């Protein structure tokens, strides 16, 4: 068990470009969560999956954001037409089910030039 893995760890891109992040949860964890964290703040919930079903999305998740978990294993988070305000750490977490604690990856740090 290698924990939650996120790729890439860092991404620098120009405003207006599209970016995609990947999260590999702990094996056999049914739930997968995405959070966003800006400097000096705690993580903020974006969305979560139960297996392949996306069950809740935060209002923070604008139309430019889309997340998928096609086979109930890994997940991707895509941001289209990036803006300066998208600069943040994007964290992924997984849990076995709703009764168990969430375990986080080390995030993808996105910097928009």
Q: Which of 11, 19, 48, 82 binds other proteins (CB under 8 A)?
A: 48
**In this complex, which beta carbon is closest to other proteins, that of residue 39 or of residue 84?**
39
CA 58, 61, 67, 73 torsion: positive or negative?
A: negative
Spatial neighbors of 2 by CB under 8 A, at least 6 apart, are: none
C-alpha distances out from residue 39 to 49, 96, 102, Å? 26, 29, 21
Q: Which of 8, 64, 106, 111 binds other proteins (CB under 8 A)?
A: 106
CA 33, 37, 43, 45 torsion: positive or negative?
A: negative
**In this complex, which beta carbon is closest to other proteins, that of residue 16 or of residue 98?**
98
Q: Which of 61, 75, 107, 110 binds other proteins (CB under 8 A)?
A: 107
**In this complex, which beta carbon is closest to other proteins, that of residue 7 or of residue 18?**
7
**In this complex, which beta carbon is closest to other proteins, that of residue 107 or of residue 112?**
107
Q: Which of 79, 93, 110, 112 binds other proteins (CB under 8 A)?
A: 93
Closest CA to 108 of 91, 94, 96: 91
């Amino acid at each position: 068990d290698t924990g939650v893995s996120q790729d890439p760890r860092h991404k620098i891109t120009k405003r207006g470009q599209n970016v995609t992040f990947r999260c590999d949860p702990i094996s056999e964890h049914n739930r997968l969560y995405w959070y966003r964290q800006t400097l000096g703040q705690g993580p903020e919930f974006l969305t979560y999956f139960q297996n392949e079903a996306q069950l809740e999305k935060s209002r923070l998740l604008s139309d430019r954001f889309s997340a998928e978990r096609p086979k109930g294993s890994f997940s991707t988070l895509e941001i289209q037409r990036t803006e300066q305000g998208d600069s943040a750490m994007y964290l992924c977490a997984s849990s076995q089910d709703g009764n168990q604690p969430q375990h986080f990856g080390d995030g993808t740090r996105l910097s928009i030039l």
